[in-house]
Amino acid sequence: MKTLSDLIAEGVSGRRVLVRADLNVPLDGDKITDDGRVRASVPTLKALVDGGARVLVAAHLGRPKGEPDPALSLAPVAVRLGELLGQTVELGTEAAGDGTVVLLENIRFDARETSKVDAEREALADELAAKADAFVSDGFGVVHRKQASVYDVAKKLPAYAGGLVLAEVEVLRKLTADLQRPYVVVLGGAKVSDKLGVIANLLTKVDRLLIGGGMAYTFLKAQGHEVGRSLLQEDQLDQVAGFLKEAEERGVELVLPVDVLAATGFAADAEFDVVKATAIPADRQGLDIGPESREQFAAKLADAKTVFWNGPMGVFEFEAFAGGTRAVAEALVASDAFTVVGGGDSAAAVRALGLPEDGFSHISTGGGASLEYLEGKELPGVAVLEEGTA
């Protein structure tokens, strides 16, 4: 796999370089609420700018359904990127002068980007390739997608892995090929259905699996417990029961919450009580793991040598229900293990809770890509770089 360092060594002065970045940040109107992904893109862009390249950045924001949507314009991102790079970043269609950066408008405004028809994606990739002399893949959050600006364009230009993609792949290999044990995985988030494949694969690899967040209630229900009005995926109960049985058979310690904060409703100021996880009142819903569970989870992480965490333990956006997520994050900061935060809401939580990002070995920029890698799936955007290019 050729890398950004290889490209810089070849010389980039005056060359047009197309960079696929992941700038899919959360917005409140036109205000970026978490600029982590924008900041993560800066080192690769800065290296190219310092080398005198004419940089054209492709990225997406949200899911605009293949047509322009003013609410999903990358204009606020261009402003923030310019602030971080110390130069104006224009929204445009072509690479500009040496040492400059131009950001293409949301690539998903073009339906061909995500088309399932190869010829349609390739047509867009041809248009992108015509604007550049080389391609740098630096959007790890999208390398699990076979999309025009991720996969197809890498076949049409000399292609290189950006620093961000390279770092992510190295980290994920440490979670698979170069594993130090005990290996503990913490999974949270809303839906167990989002993580069926990764749970199935992890049960063959981990020593301990901690389950929190909304998905924990489906596990508790599968054990026969009342979960009240908590988030529940009844169509997944048989699958989850199978996971519980397999964990027992394989000797994997599967840890569920022992207590939860049972609230009267889904609101930041909802009244709540701490109750046993096996006795949630029928008219209440669990919005966070309880204090005993927090201590238990921290204890189960204490002796780990490798930890992967994906998904919050509760509704961390509400201060009253952020304690479980904070407890897990703080346990990882205190740990001597190789600790990986698997992107998405977990990474956002770390920043929202004001925890030191350098307290973790690695914070991924791509939750979905990380999970698919751990699920054992090939990542098309990485595979195409490994195959060699034009």
352: Cβ–Cβ under 8 A, 6 or more apart, which residues?
A: 34, 316, 317
Helix (H), strand (E) at residue 12: none
Q: What is the DSSP string of 296-338?
A: HHHHHHTT-SEEEEES-SS-TTSGGG-HHHHHHHHHHHH--SE
- Higher-confidence residue of 124 and 350: namely 124
Give the Cα separation of 270 and 262 in Å (integer).
10
Residue 34 pLDDT:
87
At 379, is the pLDDT very low, low, confident or very high (cuts 50, 70, 90)? very high
Percent of the chain with pLDDT over 70: 99
Say what the pTM is: 0.85
Q: Give bridge partners of residue 136 from the DSSP assignment.
A: 19, 160
Q: Is 55 helix (H, G, I), strand (E, B) or coil?
A: strand
Tokens 């370089």 map to which residue?
17
Average pLDDT over residues 4-28: 96
Are the beta carbons of 181 and 153 closer than 8 angstroms? no
Half-sphere exposure of 215 (CA within 13 A, CB side): 24
Task: Encode 334-370: b = buried (16+ Cβ within 10 Å), e = exposed.
Answer: ebebbbbbbbbbbbbbbebbebeeebbbbbbbbbbbb
- The reply, when asked if residue 139 is annotated as ligand binding, is no
Residue 157 pLDDT:
97
At 390, is the pLDDT very low, low, confident or very high (cuts 50, 70, 90)? low
At 307, is the pLDDT very low, low, confident or very high (cuts 50, 70, 90)? very high
Give the Cα separation of 70 and 61 in Å (integer).
11
Residue 350 pLDDT:
87
Give the Cα separation of 358 and 381 in Å (integer).
27
- The reply, when asked if residue 37 is annotated as ligand binding, is yes
Q: What is the mean pLDDT of the chain?
A: 94
pLDDT digits (tens, 9 = 90+) for 322-377: 999 999 999 999 999 999 998 678 888 888 888 888 899 998 877 788 888 888 88
Is it the case that residue 124 has pLDDT exceeding 80? yes
Q: Is 181 helix (H, G, I), strand (E, B) or coil?
A: coil
Give the Cα separation of 332 and 314 in Å (integer).
17
Are the beta carbons of 168 and 162 closer than 8 angstroms? no
Average pLDDT over residues 162-186: 91
pLDDT digits (tens, 9 = 90+) for 126-160: 999 999 999 999 999 899 999 999 999 999 999 99
135: Cβ–Cβ under 8 A, 6 or more apart, which residues?
A: 17, 18, 19, 20, 129, 153, 154, 156, 157, 158, 159, 160, 389
Q: Is the peptide bond before 380 cis (omega within 30 degrees of 0)?
A: no
Q: What is the CA angle 36-40-45, rounded to 5?
A: 140
Average pLDDT over residues 210-225: 96
Indicate which residues carry an active-site annotation: 37, 191, 344, 368
List the single range of 87-101, 178-192, 212-226, 297-311 with lowest mean pLDDT.
178-192
Residue ranges of domains in the chain, CATH in brackets: 4-167 (3.40.50.1260), 176-374 (3.40.50.1260)
Give the Cα separation of 341 and 355 in Å (integer).
12
φ, ψ of residue 172 to 5 degrees: the values are -65, -35
Residue 245 pLDDT:
97
- The reply, when asked if residue 188 is annotated as ligand binding, is no
Residue 103 pLDDT:
98
Is it the case that residue 389 has pLDDT exceeding 60? no
Average pLDDT over residues 18-31: 94
pLDDT digits (tens, 9 = 90+) for 100-120: 999 999 999 999 999 999 999
pLDDT digits (tens, 9 = 90+) for 229-281: 999 999 999 999 999 999 999 999 999 999 999 999 999 999 999 999 999 99
Give the Cα separation of 123 and 18 in Å (integer).
16
Residue 374 pLDDT:
85
Are the beta carbons of 246 and 219 closer than 8 angstroms? no
Q: What's the residue count for the chain?
A: 390
Q: First and final CA of the chain: distance in angstroms?
A: 13
Is it the case that residue 191 has pLDDT exceeding 90? no
- The reply, when asked if residue 62 is annotated as ligand binding, is yes
- The reply, when asked if residue 63 is annotated as ligand binding, is yes
pLDDT digits (tens, 9 = 90+) for 39-62: 999 999 999 999 999 999 999 999
Average pLDDT over residues 21-47: 93
Residue 371 pLDDT:
85
